Structure 1
Amino acid sequence: MNKSSPWSCIDAHQHCWQLATAEWPTSELEPIYRDFSPLDFAAAAGPDVASVLVQSQPTEQDTEYLLNLARAHRSVLGVVGWVNLAESNAVQRLEHFARDRLLRGVRPMLQGLQNDRWILQDAIAPALDALVRLDLCFDALVFTRHLPHILALADQYPNLRIVIDHSAKPDIAGGEWTQWYGHLVPLAARSNVYCKLSGLITEAAPGASLAVVTHYAEAVLNLFGSERVLWGSDWPVLNLASEYRQWHDFCQKLVKSFDSSAEKAIFCDNAIKVYGLEPGLPEPLLNKND
């Protein structure tokens, strides 16, 4: 696998959707209530930024849609899709989608499920074993209350790469800290657990400045270190609270102050390593001699 990247940044978490087939977002979220495509992403992030495209709908139709986008746009290096891991045919569905090398992980959207221990059901064990066998990541879309169960998952499946999305979405607006931090500490001690520096500003109060997430972001960097933090924008959800370049530049400054040598790992190389990406060439460099 090519471990170097010609891209200036690999955004480890962004979304695309079409309202015609989307259950979410709904109309009250006016800034993001429209279709978003990889071309829109390039306009926000720049033509030299690649990404991991993450599901936003709990349907296999969405997974197919994202894989089609990835095939059509070189800037989409991989897809984290959705499969119902509790279905009796989950292993077969995972094997089906994994035939496409662009599928690099799955995300069951645990935050919206009534059972906080859903992922630990015996019925899901075959699907989790399949994720390991197929070399796919498990993205954990969770809140603080789910973290003890993610810790149990990490211990039961030490060969499963687990990526905590949005730093587990602490309630920054409500001042949550102690429980969130306390649950992250043991997770950070598990070598198979990674954490995304993403999504934090949308957990702050409306209109809050980026500075309010500094304490949380620094905690993630200190706990997981430069080897196991991946930067992501959570675009276009980010548009509810900030702008792409503002979030990128804010995090870049934080990372540089944390460890001046960590920028390349957190903003590029860790996404390649964790998701097993093949960076390829940016669109502007293709056929440059034609």
Structure 2
Amino acid sequence: MSAIAHGEIPGSVPIRRDIVDAHQHVWSLSNPFHHWPGAGQGTLYRDYGVQDWASVAEPSGVTCSVLVQAQEDWRETLWLLSLAAHTPTIAGVVVWVDLADAEAPARIAWLAAQPKLKGVRPMLQDMADEDWLLSSDLRPALNALCGHGLRLDALIRPRHLDMLQRFRREWPTLSLVIDHGAKPDMTGSGFAFWRDAMARLSDLGVACKLSGLHTELPPGSDDSRLTPFIETLLTLFPDRLLWGSDWPVCLLAGKTYGEILAHARAIVGRLAPVRAGSLFSGAARRFYGLDGPGILPGLIRM
């Protein structure tokens, strides 16, 4: 029997048509603050707007999304909030703030008053200092996040997992979600380390997104290579796993929005059908507080 929970019904089950996409992006090349993607990113190097997302998401039964930052620029933060204010299908926004800046606590206080603002995301994956999140310079901003009940999206890679455990123990009341399953190495190298580190983070009450994995596949790989990683995430984060498309970045994998969602629905239908309601809707609504104030951080088992 699979390590997924006992008592599941074999085969697929219908998924209600109120799916929440917990991770999608937009950008406009004409914005003066646009830096990524650049001309070298192929199909990504064009404008992707909220209507573009709706045109591919709504036919698949996706009713709303969490819009996530793509630029390290306060001007993008303001732009995303403006888009969300005029777009009913954007249920929440995760933005960028310079957490090390002396003005960060004041900016976070202002952000917390914006109706759709749900959290912030520092782009940790590309930082030279892997321990940056542990810096004492960030304490005022992190205290502000906790005080205002906001969340932190952790855009990391496996090399950050030990650091994130230390961070979580230091900030146990900060609602924390790992983006893209921490982008594990899909060649299988380091699988045991990734699995064990993710298990420890789950024990500390951290949430995780089932998103962005297709773009981590080695060129020419079959989607079946994703199965052990997805099964691991389903096992470790039974009620704190959020599905996200990572659109339009997912297009780099040669997959359409519908194909990304269909793959997730098929594998969940096979491995853990009773989890579908949580994975595709409930977990995102609870974590980000899309229907209210949101959940308290998970219980910590030290």
TM over 0.5: yes
Name the residue aligned to 2:121. Answer: 107
TM (normalized to structure 2)?
A: 0.87
Aligned partners of 1:261, 1:221: CA distance in 2, in Å? 11
Q: 2:44 aligns with which of 32, 38, 49?
A: 32
Tell me what 2:217 maps to.
Answer: 204
Deviations, residues 136-173 of structure 1 (Å, cap 9, x unaligned) = 11000000010111111111111111100000001214
Q: Secondary structure at 1:268's aligned position in 2?
A: helix
Q: Equivalent residue for 2:75?
A: 61
CA distance in structure 2 between the aligned counterparts of 1:87 and 1:78, rounded to whole angstroms: 24
CA distance in 1, matches of 2:44, 2:285: 28
Deviation string, structure 1 residues 251-277 (Cα, Å, up to 9, x no partner): 112222332221111101111110111
Superimposed CA distance per residue, residues 12-58 of structure 1 (whole angstroms, 9 cap, x where no aligned partner) = 00000111231100111111111111110011112542100000000
CA distance in 2, matches of 1:222, 1:254: 13
Task: Give the SS at the match of 2:207.
Answer: strand
Unpaired segments ≥5 residues, structure 2: 1-15, 293-302
Cα distance in 2 for partners of 1:174, 1:76 equals 36
Which residue pairs with 2:85 in the alignment? Answer: 71
Q: Does 1:162 align with 2:176?
A: yes
Q: For residue 121 of structure 1, report the CA deviation from its aligned partner.
A: 0.6
Percent identity for Structure 1 against Structure 2: 39
Aligned partners of 2:215 and 2:277: how far apart in 1?
25
**TM-score, normalising length: structure 1:** 0.90
CA distance in 2, matches of 1:259, 1:169: 22
Aligned to 1:150: 164
Pairwise CA distance, 1:206? 2.3
Matching residue within 9, 12, 19 for 2:29: 19
Residues in 1 aligned to 2:47 and 2:222: alpha-carbon distance in whole angstroms: 27
User: Contact 1:173 / 1:203 at 8 angstroms: preserved in 2?
Assistant: no
Q: 1:69 to 1:7 in 2, by over 3 A?
A: farther
**Structure 1: runs of 5 or more not aligned:** 1-5, 280-290
1:78 is paired with a residue of what secondary structure?
A: strand
- What SS does the aligned partner of 1:28 have? helix
SS of corresponding position for 2:40:
coil
Verify the 8 A CA contact 1:18 1:35 in the aligned structure 2.
yes
Distance between the aligned counterparts of 1:158 and 1:105, measured in 2?
A: 16
Secondary structure at the aligned position of 1:256 is classed as helix
Alignment of 1:243 with 2:253, yes or no, is no
* Secondary structure of the structure 2 residue equivalent to 1:12: strand
1:174 deviates by 6.5
- Residue 92 (1) aligns with residue 102 (2): no
How is 1:41-56 mapped onto 2 (pairs within 5 angstroms)? 41-46=53-58, 48-49=61-62, 50-56=64-70
Counterpart code for 2:58? G
Residue in structure 1 matched with residue 149 of structure 2 by the alignment:
135
1:92-116: CA deviations, max 9, x gaps?
0111122102110000000111110
Q: Which amino acid aligns with 1:131?
A: L
Aligned to 1:187: 201
Which digits, 9 at most, give the CA deviation of each residue in 1:62-96, with x for residues without a partner? 11111111111110000000000011111001111
One-letter amino acid of the structure 1 residue matched with residue 24 of structure 2:
Q
